[in-house]
Structures are given as structure tokens and as C-alpha cells.
Homo-oligomer: A and B are copies of this chain.
Amino acid sequence: MIGHAFMGAAHSHAWRTAGRFFDLPSRPRLTAVCGRSQESVRRAAARYGWESYETDWRRLVERADIDVVDICTPGDSHAEIALAALAAGKHVLCEKPLANSVAEAVAMAEAADRARADGVRSMVAFNYRRVPALALARRLIEEGRIGTVRQVRASYLQDWLVDPEFPLAWRLRKERAGSGALGDLGAHSIDAAQYLTGRRIVSVGALLETFVTERPLPAESSGLSGTAGTERGQVTVDDAALFTARFHGGAIGVFEATRFATGHKNAMRIEVSGSAGALAFDAESLNELAFYDRSEDAGTAGFRRVLVTEPTHPYLDAWWPPGHLLGYEHTFTHQVRDFVTAVADGVDPRPSFAEGLQVQRVLAAVEASSTALGVHIPVTS
């Protein structure tokens, strides 16, 4: 595993835990973790249960005792690491968004295609697909329970940038993060919308906005937290991204990704309206799925609050009795379960790098549309 901050903690937990609840074809070994600072990677290894550590990702990628490389770094290093790892014959699990540009993502998807011929697998970590409620939503849509999809409304609402003195963390710098709320949050919404509906977004019209253009440089920084220093720097990414979309096959959607939604901490919400029903989800009520079934008599129809903790629900047979909730990190545990199982079965885990590339193309089209005053831009393919 490369990187050991927020995502690294979550991935480590998943690697340690998946085999304790799921029947895996083989139990993962936490062989080595990699970070640039020897002191902090040493501590991370001890804390998270890794047997060894490296300070140079190239060394880790070359180690013969490693089968899987898990990339938890900021987006600017995804492509280089993934290409090297695939070239070295390692299976790769890469955090989202896949890359910081379409060009990088194309190279990664092509490398993944080549590697596949040698039985080397790759996957991009859109972990919301492993929320049981969303996996259930996908199942219900596949079964036709909401009929023809007409509309999607997706918003991902956070508020950690409302304070103008919040420091200029790496997520606010284009060269590290690629984009702002768009790539960090919007990418999840885009993937979820396409995953749930089974339809690609074909065009987008967008408006990006940066409300606070200058922030204190961080004295030190780590992901979402950090201490403000006295100097200031330019925010080079979007604070909020709004866009409308057309899906292949005729559905339309409206998207919002923002770090300025005062009062919302992690409201990743998505609703899909179909000709026969509707489904709605909010990550702040992680274990619930709202389901409206139009086939019911109008007199007793209504959105049902399905508590997604039944043994028949996706992933739930491994956990607790009905009504006992799962948390955020379970999505990573499920991801490991699916990744390890697919590798052992010799099939491609999903979402593939090609799917990650397609999300990247949507992100690029959103940025292009915003630059072009919002005119609808086709998503290339």
C-alpha cells in the first residue's frame, strides 16, 4: 500500500478485516506500506499492522513478495505508480479519481488492458459502490423495479471550506488534486449515477465556482485537517461544481458537488426516478435506502425506508443481525472482498480502469463546459 493518510487508514483496516468476516479465497497479508517520511511510515506500519515499510514506492513495486499494489496517494502520482506496478505484474487497486487528467487515465486504462492479457487485474476504488444500500439500489434497478430511468438527481454536500481561514490543503491545489469538489466529490456522484442506471453520461453543461480564492498556507496539512500558517496562497480548484447531464438512452440528471453546503458533513445523495418507481440514498443515513414502488395502490404508496441490514442484502450475510448498522469503513472492507475474490477467480474486478477513465472524461467535459459558459459538451469516448 502506498500512502498512509486518511485513505491509507481505511484501506489498512479493510485488508486486515475482510478475511475475518468474509470467506476469502486467500487471506491478504499486509506485507509493506510505503510513505516518504521514514519516521511516519514506520509508525503507520506499526499502527496499521503492516509487516514492513518502504520510503520509495519504486522499491515497493519491485518487491517479489508483493502481489497487489494499493495506491492511496493524491491523484498526481496515480498514473506513474499504476503504470509501474502493472508493468511489474502486480494487481493494482487505485484510489479515485483514477488520475488528474484524461491523458493519464488513458495511459492507465491501456496499461490495464495490456496487463489483463497476463492475468494482472486492476480496479479503481469508487468505494460507494460497496455501500450495501447502493449495491441494493443497483440490484433493484437491474431487476426493473423502477422501470425506465428518467431522471437522476445527485448531490455531494460537504461544508469544510465555509470557513475562509481553513488552510490551503493539497486538495485545494490543482497540481496535486486535479480539481476540487468536482474530482473529489463529483467523481463519486458520476460513478454512482452511471453504476446505478447502467447508462453513460453523454454530455454535460456546467458551472464551477471558487468562492474563497485565497487561503492561508498550511503550517502542516493532512487531508481534511491542518493548521493555518501566516502566508496566503491561491486556491486553484473549484469549491463547488454544478452541472446538468444527458445520459445515453434519454435520461437526464442534475449534479452538485460542493464543500460549501453549510451544515452538511458528508451528504452524498443520489435519487433515481424511473417510470415504475424511484430510489433515493443519503450517505449520512448510510444504512438506508428509500424505495418508491409505483405498482402499489396510490392509497398506500409512499417512499419506504428500507433498513439495509437484512441477510439477503448485499454483503450483509457477513455482518450482524438486522437493524445493526454498518459504518463508512465497511465499504473498503467490501471492496477488498470483491477485489480479492475477482483476482482469485481470474475475472476483472469492477469498476475497471476503463470505467475510471470514462469518469475522467466526464470530469474533463464538466471543466470544459464551465470554461465555455456552460454550453453542453459531449463526453468523448
Interface residues, chain A, CB within 8 Å of chain B? 6, 9-10, 12-13, 16-17, 20-21, 47-49, 136, 140, 145-146, 150-151, 153, 155, 158-160, 162, 164, 205-207, 209, 211, 223-225, 240, 242-244, 246, 250, 252-254, 256, 258, 260-267, 273-278, 283-287, 291-294, 298-307, 309-310, 312-313, 320-330, 369, 372-376
Asked whether, in the complex, the Cβ of B262 is within 8 Å of the Cβ of A274, the reply is: yes
Complex Cα–Cα for A151 and B208 (A): 12
Q: List the 3 closest A-B pairs by CB distance, nearest first.
A: A266-B323, A265-B323, A263-B292
Chain B residues within an 8 Å CB radius of A306: 299-302
Complex Cα–Cα for A253 and B159 (A): 16
Complex Cα–Cα for A361 and B45 (A): 48
Asked whether, in the complex, the Cβ of B262 is within 8 Å of the Cβ of A146, the reply is: yes
A-B contact pairs, 22 of them (CB 8 A): A9-B21, A12-B20, A16-B17, A151-B260, A153-B256, A164-B275, A205-B244, A205-B375, A207-B246, A225-B321, A261-B273, A263-B292, A265-B324, A266-B321, A267-B323, A284-B325, A298-B310, A300-B304, A302-B304, A302-B305, A320-B328, A320-B329
- Tell me, rounded to whole Å, the shortest Cβ–Cβ distance linking A96 to chain B: 16
Complex Cα–Cα for A330 and B293 (A): 29
Partner of A303 from the list B263, B274, B321 (CB cut-off 8 Å) is B263
Number of copies: 4
Chain B residues within an 8 Å CB radius of A264: 323
- Tell me, rounded to whole Å, the shortest Cβ–Cβ distance linking A301 to chain B: 7
Chain B residues within an 8 Å CB radius of A243: 244
